[in-house]
Amino acid sequence: MPSSFIVKSDSFQYDLSMYKHLYSRFLEAHPQELHFACHSHHYWPDVTRDAHLEYWDDACKYVDNKWNYIFSKKIPQAQKLIAEILQLSKPEQLVFAPNTHEFVFRLLSSLDWTQKVRILTTDSEFYSFDRQINRLSEFKNFEVVKVPTLPISTFHERFEKEMSSNSWNLIFISHVFFNSGLTCDVERLALKAPTEALFVIDGYHAFMAVPTNLSPLEDRVFYLAGSYKYAQGGEGGCFLYVPPKTRHRPFHTGWFAELSHLSAVGTEVGYPIDALQYAGSTMDFSAIYRLIATLEKFKAEKLDIIQIHNFVKKNQELFIKELEKINHPLLNQQTLMRGNSARHGHFLTFALPSGESTQKMVAALAQNHVHTDSRGNRLRFGFGLYHNDEDIRRVVSIISKVSI
Ligand SMILES: Cc1ncc(COP(=O)(O)O)c(C=O)c1O
């Protein structure tokens, strides 16, 4: 890192603008905007534009050989980069799809629906999963238990109690909860989970945000995430890690599952024994190009996940410190949702009195060019590499003037 980029002053000593150059296109397109919704729609680094064009060029260059090229070169490259970040020893156990819902449904479809299906989860799972299991629980044989994530201080004990109190076919849990930014200790829970249950981690709000080491869990857990948020490759690039010994026959299956060597496990439809047993079918791989470009760029900049996380944490601390000074009636220490601050997700959430006041607050901030978002009565501020401390002070100054 060039030393001229580092400004040493107080505890918030980073010259955060050192990373802004990575996002010059998006930043230049919105010069007035203070974008604090990067937990929802992250700005794309400039390198993703070239990657997108590279996809076009490869389609033109390889035409009928395109899939061959993508599966032999680009997919292994993406697998390797993701495996490095998650500390997984078998990159080939990663499979791709355009969204996580596809994986969620494929995982559900590997359970035996002719029997009772028992699912343990939380009340804070993203809609891709939550809506799907709400619909499925209309069937008599589906039984779903959702453990409330709040209060977070007792969450792990309560979840463990449920895990051991019954038998489960599927345990599904987010690493970082989308409606609070609070984090759970997935390693602790996965290691205590009954071995007969599939254990699935939704890592969407953790991947490329919260440092994650899956190596102790790599024989045990399924992990899904995507590139739309902190991995910054845009929509369309989701992945699932499949533990190596998995031999499933999801009934929601696509012909890409036949791309690798088939070993006929059951009767009529054969499944591969590698991660492709969870494959779907034709997709637009430009997202994978963009994901690779971003991850390679971070590597070239020597910007690893710990640095990114520490950088965001400093921004969040500065935001909280500045906020304390203004005594805002809605955004303050009492409404801020906090748990393990060292591992908090990359957005801060405030629980407001009602959904209506939250909507009004989001709109009032947007009128002042501050972009945030909300879920119910929870207002979320996302932090990323394209903020510097001046941005943080500006946003708090705007908050101090906003009344609803
Ligand atoms: C926790 C979580 N999981 C998954 C997703 C994405 O779901 P899908 O890929 O099905 O759109 C999101 C999107 O915001 C999310 O917050």
User: What pLDDT digit, counting tens, does each position of 187-232 carry?
Assistant: 999 999 999 999 999 999 999 999 999 999 999 999 999 999 999 9
Would you state the pLDDT for residue 267? 55
Measured from the CB, is residue 360 less than 6 Å from ligand 1? no
- From 41, 123, 126, 227, give the residue whose CB has the most ligand 1 atoms within 8 Å, as the site to mutate: 126
Measured from the CB, is residue 14 less than 6 Å from ligand 1? no
CA of 212 relative to ligand 1 center, distance in Å: 18
**In CATH, what is the architecture of 3-45+304-401?**
Alpha-Beta Complex (3.90)
State the pairing for strand pair 94-97/373-375: unpaired
Measured from the CB, is residue 177 less than 6 Å from ligand 1? no
Domain with CATH 3.40.640.10 in the chain: 51-298
Identify which of 210, 102, 171, 86 has the alpha carbon closest to the alpha carbon of residue 94: 86
- pLDDT-derived band at 3 (thresholds 50, 70, 90) equals very low
Domain with CATH 3.90.1150.10 in the chain: 3-45+304-401
Measured from the CB, is residue 101 less than 6 Å from ligand 1? yes
316 Cα distance to chain centroid: 18
Q: Which atom of ligand 1 is nearest to the CA of 125?
A: 1
**115-162: pLDDT as tens digits:** 999 999 999 999 999 999 999 999 999 999 999 999 999 999 999 999
With 90 as the cut, is the pLDDT of residue 266 above it? no
Q: For the chain, give the percent of residues with pLDDT over 90.
A: 90
Measured from the CB, is residue 99 less than 6 Å from ligand 1? yes
Would you state the pLDDT for residue 349? 98
Measured from the CB, is residue 132 less than 6 Å from ligand 1? no
CA of 177 relative to ligand 1 center, distance in Å: 11
Plot region of 371 (φ>0 → left; ψ -120 to 50 → alpha; else → beta): beta
Q: Is 256:113 a contact under the CB 8 Å cutoff?
A: no
Q: Is 246 exposed, middle or buried, given 0-12, 13-18 or 19+ CB atoms closer than 10 A?
A: middle
Distance CA 11, CA 98 (A): 41
CA of 54 relative to ligand 1 center, distance in Å: 27
Q: What is the pTM (predicted TM-score) of this model?
A: 0.94
Measured from the CB, is residue 55 less than 6 Å from ligand 1? no
**68-118: pLDDT as tens digits:** 999 999 999 999 999 999 999 999 999 999 999 999 999 999 999 999 999
> What is the phi/psi pair of residue 394, to 5°?
-65, -45
Q: Looking at the domain 51-298, which fold is it? A: Aspartate Aminotransferase; domain 2 (3.40.640)
CA of 23 relative to ligand 1 center, distance in Å: 23
